Amino acid sequence: MSTDFPDFSDEAAEQDNDAPIQEPRLWVGNGWTARVIKNEEDEGWAVAMIKDGEPEPALVGPWTMGRDKKNPKPLDVNAFNTLVKTASEVLRRHEQQLHAQLHKNLFVATDEGQIKVMFDIVPDEDHPYAELSAYDADGEQIAKVRTSAAFKFNATSAANWIEGGYRRPG
């Protein structure tokens, strides 16, 4: 099989592991790999964007057919840059969503003033837990306890925790 691209030897690859790969169906650069793949669900093509070091694609989407209506359109610099931007945004939104799930806070009005209560889940694979902490209006920590990651954190439970003297919820 003949290609228009040079065949890099192991020696050349070792000398420049960070060299970008720019092939019609495979581009590597900027910390990402774009791979055009056959779409198993129909007769078209898809592109998978994989961040370096990650086992799964951050983004898989449809890819345009070429002029012959059989083969995929080749990747190019503009398409690759757009795919990197889109996949990066997907990861950013995912990270924001995960952060919002793991770190919550609210304010509780008390006779001593407003208390900020934070609930931070530590997603340990074997023993996940959470930390419940309280801060006064000046940002000084009043209390911090470890609790179950399954603790139902809401305004009522936070107020009950404060009223109960910041004891570890049972």
> What whole-number percentage of the chain has pLDDT above 70?
89
- Is the pLDDT at 130 greater than 70? The verdict is yes
Q: Which two tokens stand for residue 28?
A: 């590597």
Phi-psi region of 139 (alpha: psi -120 to 50; beta: other; left: phi over 0): left
- Asked whether residue 14 falls in the same domain as residue 97, the answer is yes
What is the band of 148 on the pLDDT scale with cuts at 50, 70, 90? very high
User: What confidence category does residue 18 fall into, taking pLDDT thresholds of 50, 70 and 90?
Assistant: low
Contact 120, 144 (CB under 8 A): no
Same structural domain, 94 and 118? no
Q: Residue 168 domain-assigned? A: no
Domain identity same for 36 and 56 = yes
In a shared domain, residues 123 and 90: no
Q: What is the Cα–Cα distance from 118 to 138, expressed in whole angstroms?
A: 15
| Within-domain flag for 17 | yes
Lowest mean pLDDT among 1-15, 44-58, 110-124: 1-15
Give the per-residue pLDDT at 29: 93
Q: Is 127 in the same domain as 62? A: no
pLDDT attached to residue 39: 84
Domains held by the chain: number:
2
Higher pLDDT, 137 or 17: 137
Mean pLDDT (whole number) for 122-132:
92
pLDDT exceeds cutoff 50 at 2: no
User: Is residue 3 domain-resident?
Assistant: no
Mean pLDDT of 101-116: 94
Report if residue 170 sits inside a domain: no
- Determine the Cα–Cα distance for residues 81 and 94; give it in Å rounded to an integer: 20
Q: Which residues contact 153 (CB under 8 A, 6 or more apart)?
A: 104, 119, 130, 132
pTM of the predicted structure, to 2 decimals: 0.64
Let me know whether 94 and 40 are in one domain.
Answer: yes
| 23-73 tens-digit pLDDT | 999 999 999 999 999 987 777 899 999 999 999 999 999 999 988 888 999
The one-letter amino acid at 148: S
Q: Is residue 76 a part of any domain in this protein?
A: yes
Q: What is the mean pLDDT of residues 160-165?
A: 95
Q: What are phi and psi of 156, to 5 degrees?
A: -70, -45
Asked if 94 and 117 sit in the same domain, the reply is no
More confident residue, 82 or 44: 82
Tell me the residue range of the domain where 153 lies.
111-163
Terminal Cα distance for the chain, rounded: 68
Q: Quick one: which H or E segment has residue 33?
A: strand 32-38
User: Measured between alpha carbons, how far is 117 from 106 in angstroms, rounded to an integer?
Assistant: 6
Give the domain-ending residue among 81, 101, 121.
Answer: 101
Q: How far apart are CA 103 and CA 108, in angstroms?
A: 17
For residue 22, give both structure tokens.
């720019």
